[in-house]
Structure 1
């Protein structure tokens, strides 16, 4: 089954989901109920389209079916509250849903960005932003999101439901923030959520698989959508470049049995040249935007590019990477930046210099219980020839991680030093 343009119907439904949701919210309001109606329309499409074929106007079909379902849901809700009004004739109560008089707003791709701003509302927690983004904008079902994050479906359903209620209670409106500081902050929140989704897909924090490819692919798709709407934003372009340059290495990151292969040992002929070339072109485009200051995603993408352009691990230009991390540490300081910066310092100035940098963040609460600090420490201790200390640190890191492939890798490193 393919869409009118030859693409897969499933991809078509996922791309249309935010546009359909935007159309309903603009017309009726009720973000939480509208989102449920859209999900039911998508389910109906997944059943009917394989048998009857994709309609000539798939978006119109989804809007019509979702509108009918929304009307039913609103009628049911009103009946419970003993209201007599017909939900289909409801007049929107405020500018959250009301278009200007006489203006017929057609659903557009800009609804994708508007929904992202809404799903990343400041009233929501980080985990709620991620879940709601994947559900409302990504088009994933609650069950799919729950499986991706290894939690029960009921738990994820509650998280999404609470997120919708908080948006409703906050009085948020279905519109993009005005130009200025608020929009800048909200866009930064959107990009952060997309990057978190990508990172969870590229290196799963728990479970038996190193990758959750569906999440990484979805993050890239959503970031492409944002860039299509904001092509002159340097950080949006750089984030897409960073994702592609990083994801290009995915085919070489695991053995056939799923075990982890570190960057230095990867078969670089397996890396996706197509993704690297696109990522490099995007990075160049981001750097060429006039008036755009260099941002953290541009620096991270530049670091990824240095790794990807090295034919062999020993060809890596660590001096350039060190300089880029020094800039990143000034622009966007944080414990994870320092961890990676310490590795670059060790590769240029020796492992003891890197270990000295690690000591500056040992007491950071944000690293409490995180295996990465112990894993980096173990690597640098091994480089310094302190075998027993390195073995102990590898063991500590293995006990802290919730990822089975990472735990096995760290245990193997410790055993090799025993």
Structure 2
């Protein structure tokens, strides 16, 4: 029996890794005061099309339900959270919302990206301001640090700055032209430069103008470095970028740079945008930015929005690549027994330890002590239940790190866990 293409069963190891990321995400959400919630996994197709147009059907799972309604599985969280926020007329602003869960996309499966995968997402709704944008970037930086990731770079740009530059080069205010060129810039990370030029030449675009845009999109660096290379007086919103860098510096976020190639592919972004990379990896870990146009599409001209989202499976791959200790089995206890007469006692002790909140394993099959000890090799401590010691109401506790052993009264072990089994 097979699964549909792009789907897979999430096995225990990967499930534990995803849960590790989830717990760190919730911890960071609490630090920053984000309210954790979950949006509906199913949306009306018309709601999703509000965000990305009818062509989004090619990228999502959608169907007609038993009530003859066109519905779709969520393909990200921004649409659902924004629909929710726009409907809350009395919501206290700024509203900071976070969420974590599964999404479905009918994309071509690739490494670290299946048709069902997990995302984390944060959003701030309220009056547009630089501090909200900075809060999103600050959260992202601290969350990735909390995960233990290194060599992280946050590339920042401004959509209005790039759009203004495109207008000046192509001498056009056409939204279709600007959108097309922004998509060309977005493609440069994924496709060969010459392929993009050939594609746009066939569409009738000026090759010299496009090459000038693509060259501009390759500029990256700190503000002072950019100012030496470009006449920033001609760039719209340059002062806004300087303000953003100033507040990020004040927050201790120093792994940021300007990258004029960051535009974000979706058409609704309207201000500061950013993507997050690992120095030695080409794929983006996180993407985000300001999208006030989406709240307007939901009828809330008074509500600005900025946010970020990241693919969890891709983060897990990077954690493994950087050898971050995701799963610590050393904090587990194993209870083993010498013979079958001691098995019932071992199971009883296991239950008592679990009731006290101690992660504890015991063999269920009555295997030999040697086999039990092999299985328990990843535990921090092993509690050995043996006839001689049990006759004295005691057990043997072995420290699996250094091999040392001590005999401890059972009642002492259960009543003074910190001394007997310091985790």
* Greater strand content: 2
* Greater helix content: 1
TM-based fold match above 0.5: no
Q: TM-score, normalised by structure 1?
A: 0.22
Which protein is bigger by CA-based radius of gyration?
A: 2
Q: TM-score, normalised by structure 2?
A: 0.22
